[in-house]
């Protein structure tokens, strides 16, 4: 039977018909005896209503022809001024039919931007004044206005004594533009049903705004009066009645204000006179009754209400509470359990269901008569008690149940084993197999098998149960646990693709089972599907943030996805939860590396050195596992720790880390050693200005590398800093020797930094000129001209000075060659080095003249 | 031979008074979550180990910034004064149903507010003391662990538990209202990811505490402490 047939509905898209059908179905039912049946109808109606919601189309307002003519073009002269715009704003605002039509406002603002885009500053003050006077616009329109106008020019960046008056006048507008009108968004359309004029709307919105402010300051009388004073009952909107009653409810029943119960009753009466069918008003009335009536009388009252609004969850809850007071725990339990399904996030239903469940079991134990009960009664109740881990109670029923019956015997063996497992963590598999042999009941068999396979700790255990798992799955192919166990079997068997398929199906069947997410995170992480693994890990960590494995997956995934901030924070958390034997070098690696990469994404002036220092203190504090130096991740983590020190100028500490790495890392890890020794070490020593130490520590090892492989680019930085160190010491010969080595090493790189090299070559060339170091000068000059292929202004300068150098050397022809080159480069950069170009031209002219004379 | 892996029976092995058991029962939510003892002052009774003590110490330091009696005093002060869900209730509790309906359509950038208004709607005028139990209940657990770590003496522990217990007794009228307030606090804590899965274990624990014969809340009456 379909839901439609079950409820007797003709039109599935008509909510009123569905509601009336439900009312008809339950009208003659007993709210205690038939409560399960009533919930069947309620669930059915909710499914149908849910479908209705999906059928309904989005009725968002669009610009209809009716409004199209309202839209004005801002090249039309009347509207091309701030005054014109405000007049137009007022037309839209004052008409309730257009005030909340975002598209009309958007059309106006778009047109304004198109035709007056460069004059928008002139509109700021009028727009702000308009909003001060007419603030009741929804957030979407306010944000459009804020996006259109450059209000940054209007609102001062700071608040101080000097602009106090300004902020008093425009602070509200500033708040509206930045935060929107959130509360108005919630009730604007509910109030604006066409019944009120623009000014009446403003009055109502203002009342609501003032009332909310009073309420938030716990001024309940003022909050109530702001709504009720001077607003006639005949025109008062439903929402105002509801708000008034909420305020009064708080005053009477929460704040226990005396002598206002009459006001509450009168207001409720007037509200229900105006809106007799409103669900919220009926509920408030029922809740009011619950405080004054005895349970038996209240039951009549609430059932009366429920016959009008049968699917009102809060009213059903009141009935459940009433049944608890009346010692009818069965009906109460059914109500709360069903409400838990309807709204699993209302914790009142959870606590009430727990109370009802306890009462119901006690009731069953004390009230039931063994003679009246048949076997199925015992099967049901013992199964429920096992599920709730109430084993003392199982024993009570076991004493009276027909123990010779195979199903009962199986259940009791199963119960015994579940209890033992809870206390000791051990199962008696022989006894469970015996239990299975005693029963033919499919549900009992399923439960026993589920328990049998529950919590197998090791993959070897899972693999050894292959036949059992496959049979369990064959018997229950659509059961979440059976699919889960199949997934785990394939996981244990290293077939991760199949494991993923089964675990995914298990999750789809039962999305609430958390172990599905745990294992899906593991499998997808192994399969390298990082984004999906991260989703599952995130879900699992919300449930248990202390799980080391899932936290590790979180770090793996965020790092792989280059979410370095998350990876660093994940590793920080992971390290904080590790027991002493759980620290893994990888966690240290994520901790420092991710932080370093994250800092690379942030501009240097925003680097927080204090935070980095705190993190490095944490890094030092955590115990390093034995595998720290045998595992690349450990040494790499320390390299990145040193790198963080370098980035934040903490060179001493960086040096400590580097020395620690150099002492502990084995030779085979050459790339890391290379980075530490020939890059970061000289950089830190340079930072500390320890040039003697720099030369002492680096010159020989660098020479050794260069002897093995001339111009090895891996030592380029080392050469650079050695050169710099010698320059500080005033040893020009050594400085130039290492500078030349540095350049040559750079030239061997796959992608050498051309601009830096060009500049460096020119600087060195100039230094050689000044110091008259001829051999280096020729070397730097030649490399520059050979290597820097794209002409730059530097070519003009260098060729000119090269020419002069040769002239001084007495080589006129070489000088001529370079002066000519200077002229050629000078054509490309006529505005650079004009004087040098003129000089070169003079030289060429003079040279040509003398040649002619010859 | 089997060993005890999980707390199970409520037996009162150290012959504590009803009033003392009541004070310990105020820590029941975290005690149940961590599978500790509900009926002894020490969280692991006589089954404590070096590793468990290390875990406890690490947890107090990491989650509570507590490594000595001075820190403990700060933590207790924080837990006794911190307001979390109450200001939210005060800001939105007066809304009508139609307004609450609209909050469901808040965009993802307002997910937290959407979840908080849903909570406000669910418990509208039904929580007299908001989510205070979330703070007081955890406070009782922290005090027990401070004793376990040797930060305070047994006498100091009972005094602190009493001070905390008096607040609880004044604020709530049953284990049920105490448990509900605690659940709401847990929900507020997870307001960014407000769903069934994240609440499941806490819900199961409270269900156990309110319904199982081995729960301290069924063995110690709410009125056993004056």
Domain boundaries, chain A: 3-55, 65-180, 194-276, 368-453, 490-621, 791-854
For B125, the closest chain A residue by CA position comes to: A250
Q: In chain B, which residues have their Cβ closer than 8 Å to the Cβ of A539? A: 193, 197-198
> Does residue B185 belong to any structural domain of this protein?
yes
Helix (H, G, I), strand (E, B) or coil at A197: coil
Q: In chain A, which residues have their Cβ closer than 8 Å to the Cβ of B65? A: none
> Does residue B107 belong to any structural domain of this protein?
no
- CATH class of the domain comprising A490-621: mainly alpha
B196:A512 CB<8 A: yes
pLDDT category of residue A789 using cuts at 50, 70 and 90: confident
Residue B206 in contact with partner chain A when CB distance is under 8 A: yes
- State both tokens at A230: 């001077």
d(CA A616, CA A653): 9
- Phi then psi for B66, rounded to 5 degrees? -120, 115
Which residue carries 């002229």 as its tokens? A823
For chain B positions 177-196, those within 8 Å of chain A (CB to CB) are 179-180, 183-184, 187, 190, 193-196
| Residue B65 confidence (pLDDT) | 94
d(CA A363, CA A358): 8
> Does residue B210 belong to any structural domain of this protein?
yes
B187:A247 CB<8 A: no
Residue B5 in contact with partner chain A when CB distance is under 8 A: yes
Q: What is the pLDDT of residues A24-70, one digit of tens each?
A: 999 999 999 999 999 999 999 988 887 776 554 444 444 455 555 55
d(CA A468, CA A478): 17
Q: Is the pLDDT of residue A130 over 60?
A: yes
**Strand ranges (DSSP E) for A19-168?**
none
Q: List the Cα angle A329/A335/A337 in 5-degree steps.
A: 95
> Does residue B175 belong to any structural domain of this protein?
yes
Number of folded domains that form chain B: 1
For residues A545 and A573, is the Cβ–Cβ distance under 8 A? yes
Which residue carries 């928008």 as its tokens? A120
pLDDT category of residue B30 using cuts at 50, 70 and 90: very high
| Residue A242 confidence (pLDDT) | 97
For A510, the closest chain B residue by CA position comes to: B197
Nearest to B212 among A352, A390, A580 (CB): A390
> Does residue B149 belong to any structural domain of this protein?
yes
d(CA B120, CA B130): 10
For B116, the closest chain A residue by CA position comes to: A345
> Does residue B98 belong to any structural domain of this protein?
no
Nearest to B183 among A351, A392, A514 (CB): A351
In A611-644, which positions are buried (b, 16+ CB within 10 angstroms) versus exposed (e)? Answer: ebeebbeebeeeeebeebbebbbbbbbbbbbbbb
B96:A511 CB<8 A: no
d(CA A650, CA A722): 21
Nearest to B62 among A355, A393, A577 (CB): A577
Q: Which residues contact A504 (CB under 8 A, 6 or more apart)?
A: A520
Q: What is the pLDDT of residues A318-373, one digit of tens each?
A: 999 999 999 999 999 999 999 999 999 999 999 999 999 999 999 988 877 666 66
Distance from CA of B155 to the nearest CA of A (A): 31
- Phi then psi for A236, rounded to 5 degrees? -70, 125
Q: CA torsion sign, A761 to A767 to A769 to A773?
A: negative
Residue B51 in contact with partner chain A when CB distance is under 8 A: yes
The per-residue pLDDT of chain A, averaged, comes to 91
d(CA A175, CA A180): 7
| Residue B1 confidence (pLDDT) | 35
| Residue B2 confidence (pLDDT) | 39
Does the interface predicted TM-score (ipTM) exceed 0.90?
Answer: yes
Number of helices (H) and strands (E), helices first, in chain A?
46, 0
| Residue B12 confidence (pLDDT) | 94
A246:B122 CB<8 A: no
Q: Is the pLDDT of residue A80 over 80?
A: no
| Residue A108 confidence (pLDDT) | 84
Q: What is the pLDDT of residues A362-420, one digit of tens each?
A: 998 887 766 666 888 899 999 999 998 889 899 988 888 888 899 999 999 999 999 99
Domain that holds residue B174: 18-84+131-224
B196:A344 CB<8 A: yes
Q: Is the pLDDT of residue A460 over 60?
A: yes
- What count of other Cβ atoms lies within 10 Å of the Cβ of residue A286? 22
DSSP B26: T
Among candidate residues A609, A551, A604, the one with its CA nearest the CA of residue A575: A551
B122:A343 CB<8 A: yes
**Of A36-45, A109-118, A269-278, A528-537, which range is least confident?**
A109-118
| Residue B142 confidence (pLDDT) | 98
For residues B221 and B117, is the Cβ–Cβ distance under 8 A? no
The CA-atom distances, in angstroms, between A190 and each of A223, A355, B59 are: 20, 39, 50
Distance from CA of A348 to the nearest CA of B (A): 6
Distance from CA of B4 to the nearest CA of A (A): 5
| Residue A309 confidence (pLDDT) | 95
> Does residue B102 belong to any structural domain of this protein?
no
Distance from CA of A218 to the nearest CA of B (A): 8
Cα end-to-end distance, chain B, whole Å? 44
For residues A347 and B184, is the Cβ–Cβ distance under 8 A? yes
Nearest to A345 among B5, B94, B118 (CB): B118
> Does residue B203 belong to any structural domain of this protein?
yes
Q: What is the pLDDT of residues A552-611, one digit of tens each?
A: 999 999 999 999 999 999 999 999 888 888 899 999 999 999 999 999 998 888 888 999
Distance from CA of A268 to the nearest CA of B (A): 14
A543:B4 CB<8 A: no
Taking the CA atoms of chain A, what radius of gyration do you get in angstroms? 41
**Of A426-440, A493-507, B186-200, which range is least confident?**
B186-200
| Residue A641 confidence (pLDDT) | 97
| Residue A489 confidence (pLDDT) | 97
The number of residues making up chain B comes to 226
| Residue A73 confidence (pLDDT) | 58
Distance from CA of A190 to the nearest CA of B (A): 8
d(CA A755, CA A794): 11
A187:B196 CB<8 A: no
Q: What is the pLDDT of residues A717-754, one digit of tens each?
A: 999 999 999 999 999 999 999 999 999 999 999 999 99
For residues A89 and A106, is the Cβ–Cβ distance under 8 A? no
| Residue B6 confidence (pLDDT) | 58
pLDDT > 70: what percent of chain A? 96
Most confident of A204-213, A227-236, A506-515: A204-213
Q: Is the pLDDT of residue A525 over 90?
A: yes
Among candidate residues B131, B149, B133, the one with its CA nearest the CA of residue B71: B149
| Residue A603 confidence (pLDDT) | 87
Among candidate residues A305, A306, A303, A283, the one with its CA nearest the CA of residue A295: A303
For chain B positions 113-132, those within 8 Å of chain A (CB to CB) are 118-119, 122-126, 128
Q: Count of A–B CB contacts within 8 Å?
A: 156
- Kindly write down the DSSP assignment for every residue of A270-330, as one continuous string: HHHHH-TT-HHHHHHHHHHHHHHS-HHHHHHHHHHHHHHSTT-HHHHHHHHHHHHHTT-HH
Q: Is the pLDDT of residue A143 over 90?
A: yes
């Amino acid at each position: 039977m379909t839901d439609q047939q079950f409820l007797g509905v003709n039109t599935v898209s008509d909510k009123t018909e569905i509601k009336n059908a439900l009312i008809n179905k339950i009208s003659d039912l007993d709210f205690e005896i038939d409560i399960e049946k009533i919930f069947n109808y309620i669930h059915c109606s909710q499914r149908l209503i849910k479908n209705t919601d999906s059928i309904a189309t989005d009725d968002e307002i669009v610009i209809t022809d009716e409004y199209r003519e309202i839209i004005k073009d801002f090249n039309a002269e009347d509207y091309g001024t701030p005054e014109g715009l405000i007049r137009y704003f007022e037309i839209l605002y004052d008409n309730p039919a257009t005030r909340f039509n975002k598209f009309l406002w958007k059309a106006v603002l778009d047109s304004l931007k198109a035709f007056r885009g460069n004059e928008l500053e002139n509109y700021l003050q009028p727009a702000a004044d308009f909003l001060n006077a007419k603030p009741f616009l929804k957030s979407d329109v306010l944000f459009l206005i804020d996006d259109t106008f450059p209000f940054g020019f209007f609102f001062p960046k700071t608040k101080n004594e000097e602009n106090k008056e300004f902020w008093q006048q425009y602070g509200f507008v500033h708040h509206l533009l930045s935060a929107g009108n959130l509360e108005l968004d919630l009730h604007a359309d509910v109030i604006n049903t066409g019944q009120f004029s623009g000014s009446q709307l403003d009055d109502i919105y203002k009342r609501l705004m003032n009332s909310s402010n009073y309420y938030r300051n716990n001024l309940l009388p003022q909050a109530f009066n702001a709504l009720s004073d001077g607003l006639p009952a005949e025109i008062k909107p439903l929402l105002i009645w509801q708000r008034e009653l909420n305020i009064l409810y708080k005053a009477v029943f929460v704040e226990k204000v005396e002598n206002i119960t009459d006001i509450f009753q009168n207001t409720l009466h007037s509200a229900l006179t105006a809106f007799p069918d409103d669900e919220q008003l009926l509920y408030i009335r029922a809740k009011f009754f619950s405080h004054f009536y005895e349970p038996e009388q209240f039951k009549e009252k609430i059932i009366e209400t429920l016959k009008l609004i049968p699917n009102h969850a809060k009213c059903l809850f009141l009935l459940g509470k009433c049944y608890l007071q009346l010692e009818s725990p069965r009906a109460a339990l059914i109500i709360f359990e069903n409400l838990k399904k309807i709204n699993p996030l209302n914790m009142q239903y959870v606590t009430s269901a727990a109370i009802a469940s306890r009462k119901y079991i006690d009731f069953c134990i004390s009230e039931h008569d063994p003679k009246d009960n048949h076997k199925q009664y015992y099967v049901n109740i013992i199964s429920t008690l096992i599920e709730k881990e109430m084993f003392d109670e199982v024993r009570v029923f076991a004493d009276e149940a027909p123990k010779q019956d195979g199903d009962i015997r199986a259940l009791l063996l199963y119960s015994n084993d579940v209890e033992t497992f809870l206390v000791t963590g051990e199962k008696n598999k022989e006894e469970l197999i015996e239990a299975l042999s005693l029963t033919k009941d499919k549900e009992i068999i399923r439960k026993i098998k589920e328990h049998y396979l529950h919590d197998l700790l090791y993959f070897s255990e899972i693999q050894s149960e292959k036949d059992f798992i496959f049979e369990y799955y064959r018997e229950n192919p659509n059961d979440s646990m059976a699919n889960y166990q199949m997934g785990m079997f394939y996981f244990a068997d290293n077939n991760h693709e199949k494991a993923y398929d089964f675990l995914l199906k298990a999750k789809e069947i039962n999305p609430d089972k958390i172990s599905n997410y745990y294992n899906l995170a593991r499998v997808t992480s192994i399969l390298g599907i990082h984004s999906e693994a991260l989703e599952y890990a995130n879900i699992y960590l919300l449930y248990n943030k202390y799980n080391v494995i899932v936290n590790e997956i979180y770090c793996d995934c965020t790092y792989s996805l280059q979410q370095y901030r998350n990876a660093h924070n994940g590793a920080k958390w992971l390290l904080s939860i590790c027991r002493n034997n759980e620290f893994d070098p990888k966690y240290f690696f994520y901790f420092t590396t991710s932080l370093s990469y994250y800092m690379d994404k942030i501009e240097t002036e925003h680097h927080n050195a204090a935070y980095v220092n705190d993190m490095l203190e944490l890094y030092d504090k955590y115990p390093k596992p034995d595998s720290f130096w045998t595992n690349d991740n450990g040494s790499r983590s320390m390299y990145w720790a040193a790198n963080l020190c370098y980035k934040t100028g903490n060179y001493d500490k960086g040096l400590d880390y580097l020395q620690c790495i150099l002492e502990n890392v084995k030779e085979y890890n050459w790339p890391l050693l290379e980075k530490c020794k020939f890059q970061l070490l000289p950089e830190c020593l340079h930072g500390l200005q320890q040039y003697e130490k720099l030369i002492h520590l680096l010159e020989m090892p660098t020479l050794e590398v260069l002897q093995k492989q001339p111009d090895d680019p891996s030592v380029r930085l080392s050469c650079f800093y050695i050169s710099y160190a010698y320059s500080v010491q005033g040893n020009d010969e050594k400085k130039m020797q290492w500078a030349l080595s540095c350049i040559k090493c750079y030239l061997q790189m796959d992608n050498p930094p051309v601009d830096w090299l060009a500049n460096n070559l020119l600087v060195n060339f100039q230094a050689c000129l000044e110091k008259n170091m001829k051999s280096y000068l020729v070397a730097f000059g030649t490399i520059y001209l050979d290597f820097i292929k794209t002409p730059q202004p530097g070519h003009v300068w260098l060729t000119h000075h090269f020419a002069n150098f040769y002239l001084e050397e007495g080589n006129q022809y070489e000088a001529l060659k370079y002066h000519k080159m200077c002229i050629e480069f000078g054509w490309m950069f006529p505005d650079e080095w004009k004087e040098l170009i003129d000089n070169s031209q003079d030289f060429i002219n003079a040279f040509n003249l003398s040649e002619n004379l010859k | 031979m089997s060993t005890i892996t999980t707390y199970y029976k409520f037996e009162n092995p150290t012959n504590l008074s009803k009033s003392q058991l009541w004070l310990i029962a105020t820590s029941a939510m975290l005690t149940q979550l961590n599978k500790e003892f509900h009926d002894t002052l020490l969280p692991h009774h006589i089954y404590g180990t070096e590793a468990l003590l290390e875990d406890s110490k690490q947890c107090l330091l990491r989650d509570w910034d507590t490594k000595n009696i001075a820190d403990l005093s700060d933590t207790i002060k924080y837990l006794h004064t911190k307001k979390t869900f109450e200001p939210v209730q005060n800001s939105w509790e007066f809304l009508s149903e139609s307004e609450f309906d609209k909050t469901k359509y808040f965009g993802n950038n307002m997910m937290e507010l959407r979840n908080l208004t849903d909570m406000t709607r669910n418990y509208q005028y039904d929580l007299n003391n908001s989510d205070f139990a979330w703070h007081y209940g955890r406070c009782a657990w922290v005090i027990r662990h401070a004793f376990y770590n040797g930060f305070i003496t047994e006498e100091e522990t009972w005094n602190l538990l009493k001070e905390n217990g008096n607040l609880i007794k004044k604020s709530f009228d049953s284990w049920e209202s105490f448990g509900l307030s605690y659940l709401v606090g847990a929900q507020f804590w997870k307001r960014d990811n407000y769903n069934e899965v994240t609440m499941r274990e806490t819900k199961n624990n409270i269900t156990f505490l309110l319904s199982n014969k081995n729960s301290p809340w069924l063995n110690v009456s709410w009125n056993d402490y004056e």
